[in-house]
Amino acid sequence: MLTMQRRRMISVAALCLCVWGMEPALKAAEGVPAERRLPQGTTVFLSVPNAVEAYEQFQKTSFGRLLQDEALQPVREEIEAWCEELSEKAQDELGLPPSDLLNLFHGEIAFAVVQPPAKDLGVVLLMDFGDHRETLDALLEKAEEALEDEDGERSAETLHDTEVTVYTFENEDADEDEEPSTLVYCIKDQYLVASSSIDIVDEVLSRWDGEADRSFADDETYSRLMQKCEAGESEHPQVRWYLAPIDLFRSVASIPQANSGPVPLSMVMGFLPVLGIDKIEAVGGTATMMTEEYDTVTRTYLALDQPTTGVLKMFEFPATDQQPPRWVPSTASAYSSMNWDIAGAYKAVETLVDFFQPPGTLANLVDQLSQTGPMIHIKDDVIDSLTGRIQFLGEVREDVDVSDAAIQPMALALTLSNEDRMKDVLDRLSAAVGDGVTTREFLDVTIYEAEVPNFQGGEPQMMGVAVARGQFFFATDVQLLENYLRDDGASEPLANTNDYRKVASHFPGQTSIMAFSKAAAQIRPYYEMFRSGAIGDAIEEVDFSKLPEFDEIAHYFSLNGSYAVPDDGGALFIGFSLHAD
């Protein structure tokens, strides 16, 4: 019944969110934020503080303005007609048109997974419906009919001067000590509160004025995450979210049904400290649209209990300068770089293996493997030859058939501390593979080539690998690799372009991870596939060939950037789109 209970609550939340995106009629009022009404013990939290404002801000974004462009009118009309057909079917089920439901999205919409102290885990939805009580009542009437059809037993209670409706569902196959599942809801002021637990509703109503102590807003970890994600333009983000994965897992593991299988979750919990995964405190962040600097910006903070151990030691990325090197051309549609502590990662793997096996097990295994096959020592020949810097590049080729447009060339570059050793590794691997790999010289650099199939059904591609410029290069298109190997580097390096400089001006001096992309260049191939019908036939009612030429709308697609920086308590990740010119 736990699954049925969760399905009911998720259905309610999905109903509220799926129709959000069309213009509500009223302006939302300010109120007590949901986190002040939720109790501590909240492990999952998602809030749209003001649905009306979020919609209005979206309309101002580049993508929102694109959807309103007259050039899309022919396709938009067909999509609207298709949606109208779906709406009529939905109206038959709901008893009222979905357009009326949009009026319910008046202010905040919040969803949470909660385990109040000494209580059971459950979910709760809070929705500000404004002055549209009649519409809500009609929807609830339909919902109650459906619940009664599922043999739900209806009862009512009064909590904190508020009438609460409870539907109880008995499970004939449940154990004697298993509690029946419930669906609980109430109307308080202009809010719908729906939950899987009457205890959670009690906790919410007891904090309704937002003045009570020990609310979720007072949670130290949640407060710290939100402070880390604050900025001048994101004091009022359109979305806030939070996840405490270990606390959530611990709560789920406390449910009797979770421990009835062959591997009880409570047993799995015991391994988390050994693996170091229990060091993950929480992750959360914000999303904001139409700020002074950005079209959209997301801020995410990963909180870690220091010092990290186990698996988490494999994923440490010290901050450093990550300017694109000169060989990265201006034609790159995407570029990213990360600085991985690969030596520390290997040490962490070795420590974990030796914890479960006798000390020296991994080292002995690696030594044994180095005496077989191509005779390559993973630690001495590979790991010790890498600095840990990893770079990814993407380019868009316009001289390909539309059917192959989704297959765009990409490249990977691993910065080396020892080129000669890595060249020797490639020679040994090539000899071991045999006829599958061919070699040729290009500007005094050995390129290793191999043919790979085209999964779109077109001509096979030729991938290439080489060691040069202090890098181990891998490219899905060998022509891309040749461009990186030319003696004069790129004719115009990416780092010197105005586009890159615009994005990089928002990066701090040192980063763990950084990324740059040109949205227009990356979207164009897929857009053309829609126009050609290559992937647009999924919706037969819409003729995507009526889409305008991409150049007519390209100006709506801007430049994107993202970066991560570590600190003493975890790491901050920021992603953004600049305002389109």
Half-sphere exposure of 295 (CA within 13 A, CB side): 20
Q: Are residues 158 and 64 in the same domain?
A: yes
Residue 233 and residue 298: Cα distance in Å, rounded? 11
Of 187, 28, 207, the residue nearest 114 (C-alpha): 207
Query: Where is the domain boundary, 275, 298, 321?
Result: 298
pLDDT reported for residue 439: 93
Specify the number of domains making up the chain.
3
Residue 195 and residue 193: Cα distance in Å, rounded? 7
Query: Do residues 319 and 565 touch, judged by C-beta distance below 8 A?
Result: yes
Query: Where is the domain boundary, 298, 328, 359?
Result: 298
pLDDT reported for residue 13: 36
Using DSSP's 3-state secondary structure scheme, residue 378 falls into: helix
Q: Are residues 381 and 361 in the same domain?
A: yes
580: which 2 tokens?
A: 């389109």
Per the omega criterion (within 30 degrees of 0), is the bond before 329 cis? no
Of 339, 353, 178, the residue nearest 257 (C-alpha): 178
Q: Are residues 259 and 361 in the same domain?
A: no
pLDDT reported for residue 470: 94
157: which 2 tokens?
A: 């209670």
pLDDT reported for residue 7: 38
Q: Are residues 394 and 425 in the same domain?
A: yes
Using DSSP's 3-state secondary structure scheme, residue 430 falls into: helix
Using DSSP's 3-state secondary structure scheme, residue 93 falls into: helix
Helix axes 73-94, 133-149, angle to 10 degrees: 60
Q: Are residues 400 and 535 in the same domain?
A: yes
- Using 50 as the pLDDT threshold, list the residues of the chain that sit under it: 1-29, 234
Question: In sequence order, what are the beta bridge partners of 283?
Answer: 243, 302
Q: Are residues 462 and 528 in the same domain?
A: yes
Q: Are residues 344 and 261 in the same domain?
A: no
Q: Are residues 154 and 210 in the same domain?
A: yes
Of 49, 24, 23, the residue nearest 36 (C-alpha): 49
Using DSSP's 3-state secondary structure scheme, residue 333 falls into: strand
Query: Do residues 169 and 1 touch, judged by C-beta distance below 8 A?
Result: yes
Helix axes 361-369, 342-356, angle to 10 degrees: 110
Query: Where is the domain boundary, 258, 273, 298?
Result: 298
pLDDT reported for residue 170: 82
Neighbours of 240 (CB within 10 A): 24
Alpha-carbon torsion (418, 421, 426, 429), positive or negative: negative
Residue 391 and residue 406: Cα distance in Å, rounded? 21
**Which of 432-450 are b and which e, b meaning 16 or more Cβ less than 10 Å from the residue's Cβ?**
eeeeebeeeeeeebbbbee
Residues ≥6 apart with Cβ < 8 Å to 482: 442, 447, 464
Q: Are residues 83 and 175 in the same domain?
A: yes
Query: Do residues 332 and 310 touch, judged by C-beta distance below 8 A?
Result: no
pLDDT reported for residue 174: 60
Host domain of residue 468: 306-578
Half-sphere exposure of 274 (CA within 13 A, CB side): 10
Q: Are residues 382 and 286 in the same domain?
A: no
Whether pTM exceeds 0.75? yes
Q: Are residues 238 and 146 in the same domain?
A: no
Q: Are residues 287 and 400 in the same domain?
A: no
Residue 8 and residue 186: Cα distance in Å, rounded? 16
506: which 2 tokens?
A: 């928002």
Number of residues assigned to the chain:
581
